[in-house]
Structures are given as structure tokens and as C-alpha cells.
Amino acid sequence: MKHVTTATGAAIPALGYGTWRLSGPEAYRGVREALDVGYRHIDTAQLYGNETECGQAIAQSDVPRDQVFLTTKVWRDHLDRDGILRTTDESLARIGSDYVDLLLLHWPNARFPMEAALDALVEVQQAGKARYIGVSNYPSAMLAAAAARAPITTNQVEYHCLLGQQAVLEVAAEHGIAVTAYCPLAQGRLADQSVLAEIGEAHGATPAQIALAWLVGQEGVAAIPKSRNAERIAENFAALDIALSADERARIDALPKNQRTVDPAAFAIPWDPS
């Protein structure tokens, strides 16, 4: 299993299982199936409403808890100190554990000073409730400011073959911070890309697998594809076995990199040009 290591000492399994829009039994089943085929990194959030099912699926699987890297995220409506401390405890109660591996601020929110939110995350970490802490949807300048304030392990951002994140990647590399790629399959919109299909033919692989191999083949990058389908859950995990040539990588690098599926403007976050 490939891991992304960070300056904070974390070793994040490079391919994780995303759970947004999975709820109830479907979330439970998805996480169980992911663990069965070898995923050791599960991504949930307060917003997703499935922390309970994620916790249960991990606890009832054959995989020891300490071999699973579990991330959850504090929603952006309660980024004051009390909100972070309270909702983290609520998350842990739902998950049925006294810690998570990684606790992220899900989105910035100008209503709450970033420094106080990061200080609260550090407090949670020092209390042993999160092994590592980090952020999500932080543009490069905010990431640099956050790194100066707190031991940031990752910045989770939208990143895939059709969306560049050069500025974030540069700041992350400078600070030894992992970039966790969300929507790594552009929410399923990559299947039509003929370049991915052509490269896939050479590897006996699907376009989705090539898209994931392109991400996890990058230094410091993890990816968290989501699927509700057992075959695709396994297919995505098998992308770890694909090594792309420099020429293949260059062809994917050359695809247009401006197609965003999640719009940061909805939360008034000025993003880096892609």
C-alpha cells in the first residue's frame, strides 16, 4: 500500500474511500466493501450524515481500528472554539470512538477568524481526539497562513485530470503537507476523455483507473474516490497497481485543467486560478 507522508509525521494511505452522498445502509455497505478490498483510508464529514455508519462499518470489519486512517470534517457553520470542540465530540460519539486519525475544517468561513479555528483544532489534537489535523478547500495563500499557525497534515481540495491545483501543490510541497484530491473522478465525468481511454487500453485499465493512477503517482498526493458500487470500489482501488510512463503522464498533464465540479464561489472563497 502506498502512503503519503507529511512533515507532521502522518502516513496517509494514498487511495482512500470517499463517502459523500452515501447514507444509511449504503454507507455502511460501501465502507465494509472498501475495507474488504484493501482500502485503509475512509473519508467522512459531519455534513455527510454518515459518521455513524462509517464508525460501525470499521468496528464490525475484520480490519483492526489502528490500521484504518479515518478522516472527518467540522462543518463551516461552527468554526468558533466552542463549536469545534462540541461538534468534534458529537462526531466521535457518532463514530463510536475516542479519536479520529484526521480532523479537517471542511471549508473556510469569513465569519470565523481562521486563527482561532486552527487553535481549537490544535486543542482537539492535544486532547488526543485527533491524531492529525488539517484543512479543506483552502486556496494557496490561506494554506500558507494556516501552516504558519498549526501543524497542518493535509489540504483536501478538488483535484483531478481536468482541474489543476498548481498553487496549492507548491505551498503544500514547501511545508510537507499532503494534498488530498477530492472528486478525483470529476464526479464520473472523466469516462468520455479519449486520452484516458487510450492510455487505459495500454494498461488493460479503465479511464477512471488511469485518472486515479495519475493522481496517486504524484509525490504528496492522495485521492479519495467514491463509489456506491462494489465492482467500481474494487476497480478504483486497483488503480494503485498502475504505473504510468512519463509520456502518459505528460498527455494527461496536457488536458485542459479548468473544469471544477464543486464551486468555491458558493461560499465566497476566491480560488487560485487553475
Ligand X SMILES: NC(=O)c1ccc[n+]([C@@H]2O[C@H](COP(=O)([O-])OP(=O)(O)OC[C@H]3O[C@@H](n4cnc5c(N)ncnc54)[C@H](OP(=O)(O)O)[C@@H]3O)[C@@H](O)[C@H]2O)c1
DSSP conformation class of 79? -
Residue 153 C-beta: closest distance to ligand X, Å: 14
Q: Which one of 227, 237, 244, 255 is in contact with ligand X (CB under 6 A)?
A: 227
Answer yes or no whether residue 156 interacts with ligand X by CB under 6 A. Answer: yes
Answer yes or no whether residue 188 interacts with ligand X by CB under 6 A. Answer: yes
User: Residue 13 is inside which H or E element, if any?
Assistant: strand 11-13
Q: Could you tell me which stretch among 75-83, 86-94, 119-127, 176-184 binds ligand X (CB under 6 A)?
A: 176-184
48 as an active site residue: the answer is: yes
- Nearest 5°: CA angle at 39, between 35 and 44? 85
Q: Which one of 222, 224, 240, 242 is in contact with ligand X (CB under 6 A)?
A: 224
DSSP code string of 203-247: HT--HHHHHHHHHHTSTTEEE----SSHHHHHHHHGGGG----HH
b/e burial code for range 35-71 (CB count within 10 A of at least 16 → b)? beeebbbbbbbbbbbbbbbbbbbbeebebeeeebbbb
- List helix spans (H) across the chain: 24-37, 51-59, 81-95, 114-126, 140-149, 166-175, 194-203, 207-216, 230-237, 246-253
Query: Mask: binding to ligand X, 17-36, rule CB under 6 A, as x and -?
Result: -xxx----------------
What 3-state class would DSSP assign to 71?
A: strand
Answer yes or no whether residue 178 interacts with ligand X by CB under 6 A. Answer: no
Considering beta carbons, is residue 169 or 185 the nearer one to ligand X? 185
Q: Which one of 5, 126, 229, 258 is in contact with ligand X (CB under 6 A)?
A: 229
Considering beta carbons, is residue 224 or 242 the nearer one to ligand X? 224
Residue number with the shortest CB distance to ligand X?
18
Catalytic entry in 17, 39, 48, 182: 48
Rounded-to-integer distance, Cα 111 and Cα 225, Å? 31
Answer yes or no whether residue 191 interacts with ligand X by CB under 6 A. Answer: yes
Answer yes or no whether residue 237 interacts with ligand X by CB under 6 A. Answer: no
Active site residues: 48
By the criterion CB under 6 A, which residues form the site for ligand X? 18-20, 43, 106, 136-137, 156, 182-188, 191, 206, 208, 224-229, 232, 235-236, 262
